[in-house]
Amino acid sequence: MDDELTIAGTVVRSRLITGSGKYRDDRIIKDVLEAAECDIITVALRRIDFDRPREGVLDHIPKGKVLLPNTSGARTAEEAIRLARLAMAMGCGNWIKIEVINDQKYLLPDNAETVTATRTLAKEGFVALPYMSPDLIVARRLVDAGAAAVMPLAAPIGSNRGLATRDMLEILVDEMTVPVIVDAGIGRPSHAAEAMELGVDAVLLNTAIASSDDPVAMARAFKYAVRAGRLAYLAGMAGTSKTARPSSPLTGFLDPMSDIS
């Protein structure tokens, strides 16, 4: 299927984006990426040893992948900007997932600070992908600030609850002029397929794969789920009805008035 995703001029084949955290052993990351066939992988900057950046998690990410550092741990726009600049300085490229979170119970993003960080980093040449609570007005402000995509949460980080924000996600899909990437809350392959059926451009998940009994097999399951959901969306799914709709015509079948004796 020739259905590539373009973000800021970069074409990627896969609409599944995976993370690199929570694995029992980082050495499995390479196998997970191969099973998922994803092109973009996120990495938390706080997990990188800046004195020895190529020793640790980055050492297990194959060449040719788009590295998406995130500013996890930033509580303000200023902290997120500083982390992004540090990532670029150490050779991680100019892609950045902007996370600004100062709520420690639900880990919900601070949308206002996220807009501020996005504006500054986009002006500095970053491909800014902001993580956000789904809100149409905020999403529009992020696009105006230079966001290459918007990344609304489906449910709180690590909750595996699925599309708790489904109605808002549908609004963003209808209104956004940049890719919509669902991030956080996806816990099952069926959740990923459902998100893709809505018309989102991609899904990003980490916990559901990393915390499963078999991360490699789960990565493969999510790969197929994302593809199935995308194909269903492109095919145009049938509408729903409150009453039954026969799949075969009933006219002329066993006319109750006919004499069958």
Are 142 and 114 spatial neighbours (Cβ–Cβ below 8 Å)?
A: yes
97 is known as an active-site residue: yes
Q: Among 36-40, 52-56, 94-98, whose mean pLDDT is lowest? A: 52-56
Average pLDDT over residues 8-18: 91
> 232 forms bridges with which residues in the sheet?
none
Whole-model pTM: value is 0.86
Which residue would you say has higher pLDDT here, 186 or 49?
Answer: 186
Per annotation, catalytic residue among 30, 97, 223, 242: 97
pLDDT at 168 over 80: yes
pLDDT at 27 over 90: no
Q: Which domains does the chain have, with CATH numbers?
A: 5-235 (3.20.20.70)
Rounded CA-CA distance 86/77 in Å is 14
pLDDT at 70 over 80: yes
Which residue would you say has higher pLDDT here, 3 or 154?
Answer: 154
Residue 32 makes CB contacts below 8 A (sequence gap 6+) with 18, 23, 209, 215, 216, 219
